[in-house]
Structure 1
Amino acid sequence: MAATRSELGRFVADAHAAGRLVVQPRMGFSNPASMRDGLLATREVSAATVGTITLDSYTRLGDQEAGRRALDDGVELNGYPILLHPPATTRAVLADLTDGRFPVQVRHGSPAPERIFDALVRLGIGASEGGPVSYCLPYGRSPLRVSVNSWKRACDLLVRLREQGVEPHLETFGGCLLGQLCPPGLLVAVSVLEGVFFAHHGLRCISLSYAQQVDTEQDLEALAALRTLAARFLPGVAWHVVVYAYMGLYPRTRRGANALLAEAARLAVRGGAERLIVKTVAEADRIPTVEENVAALHLADTAAAMTPRGPVEVPDTGLLAEATALVEAVLSLHDDVGTALLTAFGKGYLDVPYCLHPDNARRTAGRIDGDGRLVWADTGALPVPRPVRDRGTGMNAGELLTALRHVRDRFDFHSSGVTPAPLPMPDGTYR
């Protein structure tokens, strides 16, 4: 029996069957007219596009009183305050837009999304994203237990959309943890685990995320591992893979930013992904305009169209084995996936490098090796086949900052014809 697909899932599957990569902006405006204009502009791009309503930080943090004061004072928020605008206003924003040929997804960043999801159900909006781990650890100090319980309730809310004839869709953010310096095996594992969590709580159509990292060949191996594990651990679930253009420090030059986005589009196509979240030339400085988002969508679509479709064969460096070991170890801890996640973080079986959240063990570290790949400097208590021990944090503060700037500087310098500064390595040598 075919798995049940949401409107977003059907749209992406149809586009993939037609040989198109779906491209999607990050876009959110507090003014409803501006939000509608952004969605209309996205729909009119000559590509397979999905619209985005990104919510503001007050909504993400649950501080509606401060958000209301800001709106009353005429402050332009950094996203759409879906809980502050009347439902009729949001319905007017979406009027005549969502017809099956242009899905719209609400993106939010909240570790406790119940009120947001309740609003989505009331509005009949079926697509959102996040996760109990990925929207808790990087973004605040909310206890992981609180986030897991909140996401259980949020999933229960979202599946109520079926009463309106709407099949819900959730996208994991697990493959984007902190965006950088997290070795891909852990990103793949958390993406799959959040997908299993969603399925455990009634979602039948999901997408699995992976953020572009520092080395294309390694990213291709990670995407292959993600697809392999999704097929194994999500039986009966309709799923697709979404790649995020690089989430770390973005190039400051126009040429560098465009080159990095084009590389993300090629990665998505070669890696067999079905959807790409784009970034723009403005990412290093400010919130992008509608025009800059539209330009990014055009660029990504053009780069994708010129790239032979994957997936491609890539060398096996052990990434699949590592991600498999992590997923199996976590799921063996308890039949309830949420409880298993909590136990895993308590034991250090999941441990995100450089993440300062109190529920994160903080015993792991990543680094960029001499071949330009993301590797473990210390695996802490991770149950991986090839543990790396007794190497401290792997990098001092100066080396960490250089590593964080690695992708930005590489694309900026390459676009200008200047050779980038060498990358310091933990052994004192330079790459």
Structure 2
Amino acid sequence: MPCVHAGYFQRFIEHARSQGQLVVQPRMGFGAVEQMRAGLSAVSALPCTTLGTITLDSYTRVGDYQSALQCLNTGSPLNGFPIVTHSLQAVQGLLQGLYSAQFPIQIRHGTAQPQAIFKRMAALGLDATEGGPVSYCMPYSRLPLAHAIEAWAESCRILADASAYGHIESFGGCLLGQLCPPSLLVAMSLLEALFFRQHGITSVSLSYAQGTSMAQDLGALRALRELAADYLDGIHWHVVVYTYMGVFPTSEHGARRLICDSARLAKAAGCERLIVKTVAESRQIPSVQDNLDALNMAATAAHEPPSDDNPASTAYYEEVLFEARLLVEQVRNLHNDLAVALMQAFARGLLDIPYCLHPDNPGRATTHIDPYGALRWGNVGDLPLPPSCGLSTTGPGIRSEQLFEMLHYTVNRYDQPLH
């Protein structure tokens, strides 16, 4: 098996960080080699600091390579790039002259059992991907959590054996991020990063999805960075912010404001990378031009003079720091092997993702949005958060209309007419 290139992704991030630059990154993926290469080429030519993304199709995500092949043979559209189905030579041709230390490329996929994808990455010399044993099992898959954990442990070893510089980004900070209090997002991102390290990965990133409150997000990201420095000492790590992952504004002005706010958030929190959505997000699969426009817009917003610190963010920082550290420690205390600890944590309800319907998720925890726009715990179920925090374990459940209002909180706020 060919050796993965020596840390293109990690070195690129480290260089951008040393220059004080925010790396902006699209999520695009296309089925045809020619179209995918054209998209990557266009991104690489931008004047802002960006890197490439190859997002895989939904058939590849579930291991249905035959359906992906049928689409390629018949010219049927795919919603991403079938990296396992295309021949190795075809994908090598796609990367030739593009993939380099100046333009790293990350594979994004959404797969609970990604061994075949990791093997293809290693064969191609690609060094960066994302996901995780929990975050790509819940809620994307109905695969039993134990099987996903086993698959991800094997996948980590595949990448670690191919290179000392293989990089995995935890998707844990995006778990139903628009409805999940930041402390659980922070804890899950850290736990998955620790899982990666336990299985030989020495370069990781921790994700965090833009939420419903800028002040709360700033505090949460400050807590995430502090905890990462504590728990991940000795390996490379950085933080990646995601433009809002929930229902997206339908108006152009609303979408633009939300994208720019995500860039301002990432920059103000000292984060290294931003996954950028597009203005077209609510109505279609974004085109290459949609992605280019969004990347330029985000890069411009990130260079704006910083606004004054929001004093409320300090209180959120202290709250998230306390809760997230408690969750991480409770899980780690269950077993030295994080694979075992994660299984036990969900079985006991020490981890519980609100509104996630996966069979292995306890499903007792709920949330609400408070009058200040911050995501709060409703019921905490069996989460190990002390009663002194004022949290309820037996409060009323949430009604369907309340859930609908929460899901549309951000889109309603950003789509309001400009005055």
Question: TM-score, normalising length from structure 2?
Answer: 0.95
Matched residue, 2:3: none
Query: Is this contact kept in 2: 1:271–1:312, CA < 8 A?
Result: no
Partner of residue 392, structure 2? 388
Deviation at 1:310, TM superposition (A): 10
- 8 A Cα contact 1:365 1:377, kept in partner: yes
State the partner residue of 1:296: 294
Contact 2:277 2:294 in 1 (8 A): yes
Instruction: Work out whether residues 270 and 312 of structure 1, in 8 Å CA contact, stay in contact via their aligned partners in 2.
Output: no
2:202 maps to which residue? 204
> Which residue of the other structure, out of 404, 407, 419, is the alignment partner of 1:401?
404
1:334-368 CA-to-partner distances (Å, cap 9, x unmatched) read: 00011100100000000000000000000000110
1:284 correspondence with 2:287 = no
Paired residues in the alignment total 408
Distance 1:259-1:310 versus aligned 2 partners, 3 A rule: same
What percent of counterpart residues are identical? Answer: 47
3-state DSSP of counterpart to 2:47: coil
Task: Note if contact 1:268-1:276 (Cα within 8 Å) is conserved in structure 2.
Answer: yes
Deviation at 1:409, TM superposition (A): 1.1
Q: C-alpha displacement at 1:73, in angstroms?
A: 2.1
Q: Tell me the residue number matched to 1:250.
A: 248
Whether the aligned pair in 2 keeps the contact of 1:271 and 1:310 (CA below 8 Å) is no
Quote the Cα distance in structure 2 between the aligned partners of 1:305 and 1:10: 22
* CA distance in structure 2 between the partners assigned to 1:78 and 1:55 by the alignment: 8
**1: CA distance, partners of 2:105 / 2:385:** 38
Q: Note the 1:204-243 alignment, pairs <5 A.
A: 204-243=202-241
Is residue 47–residue 301 contact of structure 1 (8 Å, CA) maintained in 2? yes
- 1:273, 1:68 → 2: CA distance? 39
Which whole-Å CA distance do the structure 2 matches of 1:296 and 1:290 have between them? 10
User: In structure 1, how many angstroms separate the alpha carbons of the residues matched to 2:271 and 2:376?
Assistant: 23
- 2:8 and 2:100 in contact (8 A); partners too: no
Paired residues of 1:270 and 1:307 also in contact (CA < 8 A): no
Report the CA distance between 1:205 and its aligned residue: 0.7
Structure-2 residue corresponding to 1:343: 344
| Corresponding residue SS for 2:154 | helix
Per the TM alignment, residue 312 of structure 1 is displaced from its structure 2 partner at its CA by 8.1
Partner residue in 2 for 1:425: none
User: What is the root-mean-square deviation in Å for CA atoms of aligned residues?
Assistant: 1.5
1:281, distance to aligned residue in structure 2 (A): 0.7
Change (3 A) 1:281 1:289: same
Letter of the aligned partner of 1:316 in structure 2?
Answer: A
Cα pair distance change 1:309/1:9, threshold 3 Å: farther
Structure 1 residues 50, 29: CA separation in 2 closer, same or farther (over 3 Å shift)? Answer: same
Q: Which residue of 2 aligns with 1:138?
A: 139
Query: In 2, are the aligned partners of 1:138 and 1:357 still within 8 Å (CA)?
Result: yes
- Opposite residue 246 of structure 2, the aligned amino acid is G
In the TM superposition, residue 311 of structure 1 has moved relative to its aligned partner by 9.3
Residue 315 of structure 2 corresponds to which residue in structure 1? Answer: 316
Return the letter of the residue paired with 2:134.
Answer: V
Quote how far apart the aligned CAs of 1:309 are: 9.4
1:269-299 CA distance string (max 9 Å, x none): 0111100000001111111000000000000
1:106-126: CA deviation from partner (whole Å, max 9, x where unpaired): 000000000000000111100
> Please, which moves more after superposition, 381-390 or 277-286?
381-390
Larger CA deviation: 307-316 vs 150-159: 307-316
Which residues of structure 1 form unaligned runs of 5+?
418-431
Aligned to 2:178: 180
Does structure 1 conserve the Cα–Cα contact (< 8 Å) formed by 2:241 and 2:271?
yes
Paired residues of 2:177 and 2:185 also in contact (CA < 8 A) = no
Query: Residues of 2 paired with 1:359 and 1:309: CA distance?
Result: 43
Give the Cα separation in 2 of the matches to 1:91 and 1:61. Answer: 23
**Structure 2, unpaired ranges of 5+:** 1-5
Are the aligned partners of 1:135 and 1:173 in contact in 2 as well (CA < 8 Å)?
yes
CA distance in 1, matches of 2:148, 2:395: 32
Secondary structure of the 2:315 match is: coil
Give the secondary-structure state (helix, strand or coil) at the position aligned to 1:134.
coil
- Paired with 1:180 and 1:6, the residues of 2 have a C-alpha distance of 32
1:384 and 1:416 map into 2 onto residues whose CA distance is 41
Equivalent residue for 1:191?
Answer: 189
Q: Deviations over 1:149-207 (max 9, x none)?
A: 00000001011222xxx621100000000231111100000000000000111111111
CA distance in 2, matches of 1:33, 1:102: 18
